[in-house]
Structures are given as C-alpha cells and as structure tokens.
Amino acid sequence: MRLSIFLSAVALLPAAFAQLSGSVGPTTKTSAKRATKTCDVTKYGAKADKTTDIGPPLASAWAACQSGGIVIIPAGDYAMKTWVTLKNGKGVGIQLDGIIYRTGTDGGNMIMIRDTTDFEFFSSTGKGAIQGNGYEIHASQGQCKGARLLRTYKVTNFSVHDIALVDSPMYHYSLDTCTNGEVYNMAIRGGEWGCLDGIDVWSNNIWIHDVMVTNKDECVTVKSPAKNILVENIYCNWSGGSAFGSLGADTAISQVVYRNIYTWKSNQMLMVKSYGGSGYVEDVVLENFIGHGNAYALDIDQYWSSMSKVDGNGVQLSNFTIKNWKGTEANGASRGPIKIACADGAPCTDMKISDFAMWTETGSKQTLTCQSAYGSGACLKAGTGKSYAMVTSTQTAATAGYTAASMAADLKSAFGTTKSIPIPALPTSYYPGQKPISAVAGA
C-alpha cells in the first residue's frame, strides 16, 4: 500500500510519517503486475503433495516472471527441501496462498530475495504461510541451528504482508540493507527460545505495522545501521520483546519511532542493549506502550551482561522521547519498570520520559534506576554532564492511571521447543482498540 494514499486518506498521519523519509512499498500495483504475467509454480514442477521440493520450481517461476509479473504459489501444501535465492527482480511479486513446509535441513535462508526492486511478497487470502517445523531441527541439531525463513537483502520499494511465518529453526524474517519497505499484517510464531527472532531490521525508510510475534527472543528489533524506521501496532504476544541491538562498534541508528506497542509475557517492552562500542542512537520516539506480565518494561542496558564488551566508550544515546507507557510489570521490586544504565563513557543526553505510569503485579513496590543518564522525568538528571553511579528510587504506591487494556487473546502458555507449532490465523487487531491500518487479506 503506497504511503501517499494514506497521507491523503487519513488525517492524523503526517506527524508519524515524518519519521519516514518518503514513500514505501512497491511502485507497480499487484493488479498491473498480474496483468503483465503470471508464473504459477505448479507449471514449473511444483506439486501440492507436501513431498516434492518446491525449491527448483520456485526458482524457475521467478526466472520467468522476474522482469515483471506475479509468481503464484496456489493454495495447497508444499515441501521445501532446497533453499532459493531470488535476485535481480523488477516489478515482480510472489503470491503465497499455499503453505510451504520446510523439509530440508540446511542453514542459511529458506527464501532470500535480493537486489530486487518494486517487489511484493504476500498472500491474497491471508492464508499463506511458511511452516519451518523448527522443533524437528531443535531436536536433532539443537538451539541456534538451521535456516532463517525469510530474508530480504538490498530490496527497494517493496512490501511483505498478510503471511504467517511459523516455527523457524533460526530467526523468522530479517530486513538487511533494504530501502522503502512496508511490512504488515503478519503473524510470526516461534518456539520459546533464543535465536528465534521475529523481525530484525537494519535498513532505511521502513514501515512495519500490524505484526504479532510469539517466541522468546526479539519481537520487532532495530539493528545498526538503520534510519527512518516506523514500527507501529505491534503485538508481542509472549515474546522476548522489542529492542535496539545488540549494538557494537560504529552504531548508526536514527529517526526511529515505535508506537502502539502491546507486550505480553515478554522479557521487556523495549530494551536498548549494548556493552562498550561506539556510534549513536538518536532521535527516537517510544510512545503508547502497554505491557502486562513482562519482566522489564523500559530497559536501557549499556552494560548488557549477555554480550562481550566491544571496544569503545559506549554507544551515545540522545534525544529519546518516551511517553504514554501504561500497564503492569511482573515484579517491580526485582525488576523495576524503568532501568536506565547508560555508558559511563558516553552518558545519555536529552532523554525525555513523560506520562509513564506502570505498577507491579507482585508485591507493593517498584524501583526506578538511572545511571549516567540526563534529560527529564523518572530518575533522570537534568542538563548534561559526566557519568554518575546508579541511583535508585523506590515507589511504594501506584501512579494514577497505570491501568491499561489487555488483548482478549493473550497467549496463556508458551509453545515450547519440542512440539509442532500450529499456524495461526492473522490477528484482526494488534493493539488494544486499533484496527490494522490496511485490511487483513481474507478477513
């Protein structure tokens, strides 16, 4: 969906879209591509028998349609034994209405699209999915092994939408060095482990919205380098949570907005994770966050113990606007809703926290901690200055207005890592009270 359509159609958008640097999405409509040519994988040897390898037929169908047209994977169950790298496309789409089941055991990327422009990967029915059956790889090879389901690399003017990515062996979808992309109406559901990230993005001018993620690692996470990223209407439905990072040397992240982020039973609502390193993260807005049952809420940790220290004084964080955070955290005494530990070698500046009201689900107190962090609100020191040791304040009464809506269908227990994970239907809402920005296909 072209951004320009929304700009004319919806009044409240310009402020948010300032975050993007221009249009996102394919430049040719799906219907026009379809009128140019269609390449049905079943005409190139694919069979919906859940046995025949769809890899070579998909590559052949791409070759036939890559300079204009739509590759069609009709409804049905397909096996994928060998992976494909689909490149040099222009004005091409892949319509995934069937379900691709991983049967091969290689690492890498099951489907990688690269060096392509004016591209769309979508389901016309909202029923298309890639089922990675990661639990089988986890049983035979262990954690952090096997393939990613989908990667777009150096793709410009594109969209990925209305599909489900399920139980990846390792990571679900990465946007690597892409430009002008839109990712929306997606359900991502993985096992309860690390290395099963939902969406990782290091790219330029990308709009990610209306996405649900279940796993125990990244929900929607920005990595470096990244610029002009807008992430909204995200439902981390039992996940690790969203983050910036992990960040190391020469970090370059700017102009990022997260808004309408609902996080349930995750490690955090939003984390910045680094240890040492250099470069910057700046001009960030984190607004309208609701959390329930999470360990951390806002967790800026520039001494993150899960990574090795990287050379450098620390990544410089500046100009963060953090506002309208509501809900409850699991245990505010052990893990308070605001933990800001900035690098002593690069104190955070211009961090602004307002309208932040969260309360603990366990006990009757919670802590706010700040270290080497300047700005306004919470425990931040005013002005600018040198490093300072961690200061902790304790709240013993809830701040008024902390209560916030829950989603009706929060996941009650995790999927684990040893059993098959069912393919979900695409949710019809990704944030309390919000409809998806574009209608969900097939809804």
Ligand X SMILES: *[C@@H]1O[C@H](CO)[C@@H](O)[C@H](O)[C@H]1NC(C)=O
Instruction: Judge contact between 159 and 25, C-beta under 8 A.
Output: yes
Distance separating alpha carbons of residues 235 and 332, to the nearest angstrom:
22
The residue among 157 and 369 lying less far from ligand X, judged by its C-beta, is 157
The helix or strand, by DSSP H or E, that contains position 7, with its residue range, turns out to be helix 3-9
Question: Between residue 310 and residue 349, which ones bind ligand X under the rule CB under 6 A?
Answer: 319
Return the number of the residue (63 or 411) whose C-beta is nearest ligand X. 411
Strand segments (E) across 167-250: 173-189, 199-214, 218-222, 226-237, 241-247
Please report whether residue 406 would count as binding ligand X according to CB under 6 A: no
**Contact code string over 231-250 relative to ligand X, x by CB under 6 A:** ------x-------------
- Quote the tokens at residue 432: 């309390």
Report whether 269 contacts 244 (CB < 8 A): no
Closest by CA to 320, choosing from 344, 338, 295, 293, is 338
> Contact between 253 and ligand X (CB under 6 A)?
no
Cα–Cα distance, 42 to 53 (Å, whole number): 11
Count residues near ligand X (CB under 6 A).
Answer: 19
3-state secondary structure of 135: helix
CB of 285 to ligand X, least distance (A): 5
* Least Cβ distance, residue 163 to ligand X (angstroms): 15
60 touches ligand X by CB under 6 A: no
- Distance in Å, CB of 315 to ligand X, minimum: 17
Stretch that binds ligand X, among 33-41, 361-369, 384-392, 404-412 (CB under 6 A): 404-412
Residue 117 C-beta: closest distance to ligand X, Å: 4
Q: State which residue, 117 or 278, has the beta carbon closest to ligand X.
A: 117
Spatial distance between the Cα atoms of 377 and 332, rounded to a whole number of angstroms? 18
Backbone dihedral angles phi then psi of residue 35, each to the nearest 5 degrees? -70, -30
| Coil, helix or strand at residue 438 | coil
Decide if residue 377 touches ligand X (CB under 6 A).
Answer: no
The nearer residue to ligand X, 149 or 230, going by C-beta atoms, is 230
- In terms of CB distance, is 255 or 371 closer to ligand X? 255
- Nearer Cβ to ligand X, position 167 or 301? 167
User: How far from chain centre, in Å, is Cα 60?
Assistant: 31
> 126, 443 in Cβ contact below 8 A?
yes
Residue with tokens 């591209």, as numbered in its chain? 119
* Catalytic site positions: 217, 292
Give the binding range for ligand X (CB under 6 A) out of 200-208, 265-273, 293-301, 403-411. Answer: 403-411
Decide if 182 contacts 199 (C-beta within 8 A).
no
Stretch that binds ligand X, among 101-109, 138-146, 322-330, 405-413 (CB under 6 A): 405-413
Question: Smallest gap, in angstroms, from Cβ of residue 415 to ligand X?
Answer: 7
Residues in the site for ligand X, rule: CB under 6 A? Answer: 23, 27, 117, 156-157, 180, 189, 212, 214, 237, 255, 283, 285, 319, 407, 409, 411, 424, 427
